[in-house]
């Protein structure tokens, strides 16, 4: 407020003073006559990040209000009936539980973590959105709000955003950005000082860095304080200038500082069209882990850090010696302790991709702290490995690749170059109907024996079975009463003489849907 209204009130004063009111009124009167500068509503200094903790805090406050109303109602009812309420009757966890359940299940910003590949997990957790309660909508947001603002540089990626109606409203944090104490996005800079030769990194909020001459860090020079060029591009008060190196106050720490993780993995992004870079950063998140992953030949150098931060590979927590290893666990001995490290074996992600870890160390080998013990899905040697290294030629081939057609080598198909494993879960439930309970059985009438070949004695598909479209996974019969017209003559005679109610069963088996085929790797029976 001192900076905005040109005041000199001490910082320890947290109350609103008459001088503040007069200065604000004087400033508004001056704005009426064209004196002063209006605040930019799209500047990040006028915005605050509401984290997940803030949303949960609001839900907790709402739950306390509901609990207070419930306690008051219980006390009033007890007084009315001349009863003494007990603490067990007054306080229950139902209110808090239902509030959080509705928040995680119905809130517009509540989403299931996308775990298609290791990159997707990180990128999904670093999203920032203008949408949601108290925010904007995709149909009412203007172009100015969606556009890139100079204060976004180093904080919100200018490339990585959603496509479609929410373009510009859902962004991604830059790789070095962090959320400050009061919810502001901060970006790191190198301080350029002639007096001190020590390298000092400053994290500045959008309200502070606009008062400095910030030069672009286009170099990876080891001597960070050295003069790079005589004239450098810089940013000052939302303007992009070209100034002398002696006028620079701060410098960006890294050329990729302005981009998100997804955009930072695109090689030679400076030569790409911005729209194509946007599509590329989004398409990387759709890549599924392949059965045989492969390191990229051309990369940006951030593949290893992305893989480590995702948690896909297993890292040694301390140095020691491998005394046992197999596909299920790795036993590490060191520091007078033996540690058993379990590995992920063919687990299903929430996007039906296969999560599997492969040990990369041999028995008897000595390792150091931080060394890769096992690779995860889409990682090789602790580095992110999405896709394959294939040779691409831009050339005509007898008209087969006319316009947008693509011609591929048959090796990509026959040698399983791009083959991936997917794990799907199929469920079925049994109920007690009005005509009797449903039964799980392998004796299903009117069905061919070929469709029931994979069922065991209980009527459940056997582990290791290869199933195709239409095969029975679980045999189930549902009882029902047949219509009078469908009775056979002998059934009518029994019903007339003995009064027996003839019941029939309807086949309601769990079948493999169209397009599905594979091998059964596990089964669960919940009773």
- In this predicted structure, the answer to whether residue 444 has a pLDDT above a threshold of 70 is yes
Instruction: Give the pLDDT mean for 75-97.
Output: 83
Q: CA-CA distance, 323 to 330, in Å (whole number)?
A: 8
Q: Residue 182 corresponds to which tokens in the numbers above?
A: 């009061």
Cα–chain center distance at 98: 25
Sheet of strand 156-161, all strands in order from the earlier edge strand to the far edge: 127-129, 170-173, 156-161
Q: CA-CA distance, 305 to 184, in Å (whole number)?
A: 25
The domains spanning 150-259 and 432-519 adopt the same CATH topology: no
Q: Tens of pLDDT along 10-40?
A: 888 888 888 899 998 988 898 888 887 788 8
Residue 135: the pLDDT is 87
Residue 276: the pLDDT is 93
Q: Tens of pLDDT along 315-343?
A: 998 899 999 999 999 999 987 889 999 99
Residue 222: the pLDDT is 44
Q: Residue 374 corresponds to which tokens in the numbers above?
A: 């096992």
Give the CATH number of domain 150-259: 2.30.150.10
* Domain edges within the chain: 2-38, 150-259, 432-519
Q: Tens of pLDDT along 493-503?
A: 776 776 665 55
- In this predicted structure, the answer to whether residue 295 has a pLDDT above a threshold of 50 is yes
Residue 521: the pLDDT is 92
Residue 220: the pLDDT is 52
Give me the percent of the chain exceeding a pLDDT of 70.
94
Q: Where are the alpha helices (DSSP H) in 132-273?
A: 143-146, 206-209, 261-264
Residue 35: the pLDDT is 81
Instruction: Give the pLDDT mean for 384-392.
Output: 93
CATH fold label, 432-519: OB fold (Dihydrolipoamide Acetyltransferase, E2P) (2.40.50)
Packed helices 303-310 and 118-125: angle between N→C axes, nearest 10 degrees: 80
Q: CA-CA distance, 199 to 69, in Å (whole number)?
A: 57
100 class by beta-carbon count within 10 Å (0-12 exposed, 13-18 middle, 19+ buried)? middle
Q: CA-CA distance, 105 to 33, in Å (whole number)?
A: 51
- Reported in sequence order, the residue ranges of 185-328 that DSSP labels E, i.e. its strands, are 185-191, 201-204, 214-215, 231-236, 239-244, 250-252, 314-315, 320-325
In 3-state terms, what secondary structure has residue 121? helix
Q: Tens of pLDDT along 103-113?
A: 999 999 999 99
Residue 305: the pLDDT is 93
Instruction: Give the pLDDT mean for 147-169.
Output: 92
223 class by beta-carbon count within 10 Å (0-12 exposed, 13-18 middle, 19+ buried)? exposed
In 3-state terms, what secondary structure has residue 299? coil
Residues 50, 53, 59, 61, CA torsion sign: negative
Q: Tens of pLDDT along 205-222?
A: 998 888 889 888 765 554
């Amino acid at each position: 407020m001192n900076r905005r209204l040109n005041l000199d009130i001490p910082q320890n004063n947290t109350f609103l003073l008459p001088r503040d009111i007069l200065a604000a009124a004087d400033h508004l009167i001056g704005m009426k006559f064209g004196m002063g500068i209006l605040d930019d509503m799209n500047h990040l200094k006028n915005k605050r990040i509401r984290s997940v903790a803030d949303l949960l805090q609001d839900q907790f406050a709402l739950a306390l209000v509901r609990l207070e109303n419930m306690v008051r109602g219980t006390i009033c009812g007890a007084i009315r009936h001349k009863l003494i309420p007990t603490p067990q009757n007054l306080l229950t966890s139902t209110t808090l539980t239902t509030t959080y359940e509705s928040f995680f299940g119905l809130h517009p910003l509540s989403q299931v973590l996308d775990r298609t590949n290791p990159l997707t997990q990180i990128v999904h957790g670093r999203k920032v959105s203008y949408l949601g309660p108290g925010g904007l909508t995709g149909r009412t947001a203007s172009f100015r709000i969606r556009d890139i603002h100079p204060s976004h540089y180093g904080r919100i990626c200018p490339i990585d955003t959603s496509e479609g109606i929410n373009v510009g409203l859902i962004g991604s944090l830059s790789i070095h950005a962090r959320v400050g104490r009061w919810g502001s996005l901060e970006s790191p800079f190198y301080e350029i000082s002639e007096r001190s030769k020590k390298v000092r990194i400053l994290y500045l909020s959008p309200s502070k860095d606009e008062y400095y001459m910030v030069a672009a860090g286009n170099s990876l020079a080891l001597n960070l304080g050295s003069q790079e060029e005589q004239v450098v591009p810089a940013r000052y008060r939302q303007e992009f200038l070209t100034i002398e190196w002696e006028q620079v106050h701060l410098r960006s720490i890294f050329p990729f500082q302005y981009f998100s993780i997804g955009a930072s993995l695109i090689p030679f992004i400076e030569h790409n069209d911005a729209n194509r870079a946007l599509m590329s950063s989004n398409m990387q998140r759709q890549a599924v882990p392949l059965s045989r992953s492969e390191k990229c030949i051309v990369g940006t150098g951030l593949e290893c850090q992305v893989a480590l931060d995702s948690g896909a590979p297993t890292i040694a927590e301390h140095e020691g010696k491998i005394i046992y290893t197999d596909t299920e666990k790795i036993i590490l001995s060191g520091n007078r302790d033996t540690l058993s490290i379990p590995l992920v074996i063919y687990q299903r992600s929430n996007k039906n991709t296969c999560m599997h870890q492969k040990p990369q160390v041999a028995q008897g080998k000595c390792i150091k702290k931080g060394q890769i013990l096992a690779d995860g899905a889409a990682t090789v040697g602790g580095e992110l490995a999405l896709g394959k290294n294939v040779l691409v030629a831009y050339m005509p081939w007898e008209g087969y690749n006319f316009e947008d057609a693509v011609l591929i080598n048959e090796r990509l198909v026959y040698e399983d170059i791009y083959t991936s494993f997917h794990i799907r879960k199929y469920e079925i439930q049994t109920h007690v109907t009005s005509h009797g309970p449903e039964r799980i059985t392998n004796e299903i009438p009117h069905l061919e024996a070929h469709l029931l070949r994979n069922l065991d004695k209980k009527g459940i598909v056997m582990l290791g079975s290869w199933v195709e479209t239409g095969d029975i996974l679980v045999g189930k019969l549902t009882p029902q009463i047949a219509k009078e017209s469908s009775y056979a003559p002998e059934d009518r005679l029994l019903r007339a003489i003995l009064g027996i109610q003839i019941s029939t069963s309807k086949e309601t088996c769990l079948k493999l849907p169209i397009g599905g085929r594979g091998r059964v790797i596990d089964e669960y029976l919940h009773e």
